[in-house]
Structures are given as C-alpha cells and as structure tokens.
Structure 1
C-alpha cells in the first residue's frame, strides 16, 4: 500500500485525542493541546490537523504515523510495516521531497533577495510621496492619518498603478512603505487600491510579490519589543499609534488575520502584548498561538473606524489597554 492511501485511513486529531484526551482548544480544522514533545504547561501550542501535527513552540511536526511511532515508542519503520507500507520506499520519498524542497526554498530566497534589492534601489515610495497633493493628503486625513505622519514615514499616492493578477489592472492607490524596526530599511511597499479593481483583486497589493509578509511598525524608530499593541493592518496601526500618542508603546499592524509562524514568534518575544483584531477574526486562537503573555482588547468595530466614528482620544484608548485581559 502507498503511504497516501495508508494515511487516509486516519484523522490525526482523533488519534491524538485518544492519547491526550480532550483538546484544550478547537479552532476550525485545528485542535490544540499542550505539547507532549516539550515543556508546554501553560498555553497549548501543539496544533493537530486531520493530516498531521505541528507545534508552534518547539517545531515538532509529522503525520499520524510519526505520532504512532512517538506515542507507542516504536520505530517509524515498524509502524509503516504494520500498515503494509514499504519503509525504504517512504524514506526515499522523504529524502527526494526534502531535496526538492531545499532547492525550491533556495530559489525563492534568491528571487526574494533580488526583488528586495531592486525595490531599495528604485525607492519608489519616495516618488509616491512626492505625488501627494491636497486631494490625496485629504484621502489620508479622512482615514485618520494627519499630514505630519504622512511626511514622517513617507506615505504616498500613485494616480495610476498597474497590477497583474491573471490580467492587467490599473488603479489609483495610496502607498504605505513597510519599514524594518529601528533600521528604517524598506521591506516592501503596500498599495491600498482605491478604484473598482479592489472588488476583483482585493483592497491591498504589495509592490513586490515573493517577499515575506511582515509586521508594520507604526513607529519605525522603535523595536518590536517591550510594550506592544498588535492590530490588524497598517492603517489601523497608524490610527492607533496617533491616537494613543505614547512613545513607550509600539503599535504594529499584522499583515493578515492569520499571522505566520515567524510573526507569531516575534510577537511572543514581547514583554507585554495587547492584541486587538477585527470583530470577525478568531482572536482567541491567535492569542493562544502567541502565548500566555497576551492580553486581548475587544471592540465592537474595527479599531480605526471605532476611534474615528466616536471621536475617541488617547485617554479612552489607554483605559482600553489597561482593561485588556488574557484570552
């Protein structure tokens, strides 16, 4: 029997549940337990899916057969033989896959490095900033971003940006340079699409594809450490930073509702992290992935809309931060 057919007989979540009992947390297709592979007594970081498992704490990963081998204290070869799978064929398949994955990763890294070099040489965000006129500055101001902040981090405007998403699209955009904290090195430029194209290709597109999605630091002068508030998206981070007006707290914008493993680790290293995602996000699941230091701030609307609609100030926001509680 081939490995794929043998693996399809099992739901890894159910097999782990037989061994570890009821999961600590369920979110969609993922069930979470305290990790049996390392000291994980507080926050469940061992996420199990139908086809396998992954621990965000120690990096342990595998499929149902890897789990059987670990839990039953048997070799993987013995487990595979018991399921009529040729161990040598599976080992060879894994080696070939690992070699292919390594080559693909190396090619992706080289491509990303080239894209980043080109981006920094061209410095398109400076040109976009120079495009700002009274009308485009008002677009930023109506989103809660005043002129001083526009000039500080070089927000901009492109009257006719061309995108490729299966076909060519052309649209005016507001532009956001994404800086590395403290160094002010640009990691990418994000475009907020203003035209009808947003209905077809989404509201946001990066200047350079193939580069990793990273945190947006609302204050590029500060590191992402110590006291941090994480919100969903760059403009929300700007509005939160401007409203809070606290030089001791960094505000970061997550690139999506489901942050990557590298972003999870970056946030987990913060001393005091407050997480405020949009109402439709699974904030509890994200908080559990980050760790036990996380406090959650819940609002009935997106944080920037809520602040602007209700004309809220820094004192209100500071009180919300103080009232944030663990998930």
Structure 2
C-alpha cells in the first residue's frame, strides 16, 4: 500500500459522509433524472448519470474529494488514475477550484474521453494497461510533486461522493410517492459506486454487475478475499469498468452489503444500449449499460422498487453505432 493509500485509509467512509457530500453536490449540480422503464411488465427506475456535466457519475466523488482539500493540498495539485470518466470528473472539479490536475490514463482510452479531459485543462500521462501499473505511474508523479492522489474508487471521499446518487434516488422515489429503493443494481468496476450506494441506502439490496472477463469483485466476494482480474488483456468495450482489482476500503463495504453479483456479455451490453437509446432516448456507454443488461437478460430479477444505474454516456460515436447495429 502506498503512502497516499495509507493516508486515504485513515478516513472511513460513512452514511453521514454521504449526506455531507450530498449537501455539497446539491449546491453545484441539479439531480439527474430517475426514469421509469418497463421490463417484462415490471417498472424499474433508471438513474440517468450520463446527463452529468461530464457525462458520468464520477463528478460526484471528484467534487467531494477536491473540495475537501486544504489550502496547502490545493497548492500542490492532484493526481488521478482513470480510463476517462473519473479523469473528467477530477479535471472538472480541479478547474472549478483552481487546482492543477494530472491524470494517468490508459493509452487505449476512448478518444473522446482523452480529448475531453485535456479540454478541461488537466495534464494527461498515458500508460499501457497490459504492461504497466497505473498506481506505480501515479506514485512516481506524486513523489515528484507532493500532489494528492484522487483514486478512481479506492478513496473514502470518492466513495461517499458516489453514494450521493443513492440519496437522490431515494428522494426522487419519494417524490413519485414510492418508498425504497428495495434494490439497486449497480454497474461495477472497482466498486466505488456500489460501495457508495450501499452506504447511502443501507436498507436496499445491492446487486453488482461487471463485464465478462472483468468480474474480479464477484470472484473476490465468493472467495472472501481480494482477487485480481485473471487476464488484463481480455477484450471488452466496457473501458470504464476495466479495473485490475478492488481496494480493501471498497471490499470491506461490499462483502457485507452485496446480495448478488453477475457478469454480462458484449452482446447483452449492446442490447441494453439499444434499449436505452430507443426507449429512453439517451446515449449510454458500454460500461454504463451493464446493470441494465443484467436486468434485461433476467440474470438479476427486480425486487420491489428497483433502481438501476446508467452510470455514463461517454462513448465514441463509431463504437456506439457499431454496438447498436450489433444489437439489431
């Protein structure tokens, strides 16, 4: 564990922390829509996080983390690790707060995510996802500058910030005259979103969904210990969910809160993307569609009032068209 990880581990993410993050985020961002979608005669509620200013939920955790930095930490800047959505969240928050940001991103990240991160003013450092460790690259940058690591999922502030989506879901359901949620089906990469949702909605069943070949958290929960991805070269279009392994801070929450975990295929993800496009008239990226894919296939059965995360919409146009055609 690096010095930065140890520092982050000194804070324990809590429900109260999620509520504090919600107060901060409500001051700068409107709630994203919670949209009904009928699946086999059952209404589920889709949280449309692709409508965030950066096109993904990651802006929540990034804002909570960066806005809590003290003056000295802000002066030294931040370093993030991300395939693109967290990168944009950190860059957006850093720009608004006047903080310099460097983001370690895979060289094969989607073009639009790379360009959007740079456009927000962040410096981008590329690494090879198959042969290099992004944590090691980030640690070297931090050693040079003294910057604060803002990890994509293994940071307590980030976890609390992501959990604000769950607070909004509960509030929006109440506005519709519904209690709950009874179940939340969450897209899952490193576990930051799922962990935050579990803290936000402690009475809800949490189900996680990972892409086929990148199901390390599902396997870890079954084994009772953190296991890495078996093959870092396994092909997937779900770049947002390609995390080598989860962190202890996430695992400790998830092992006590997750009721179900399933993986989905590329074809199943493509079908979910098409359903979102045709039924909700929105664009969702592959990684942001896995939770809905699990419900559409029946791998996860809704229980009571069920919410599903549509966690992002940052997808290159060519890939979006390809996958929609594949699902036709």
How high is the TM-score relative to the length of structure 2? Answer: 0.29
Larger Rg: 1
Higher strand content, 1 or 2: 1
Higher helix content, 1 or 2: 2
- Larger relative contact order (C-alpha < 8 A, sep ≥ 6)? 2
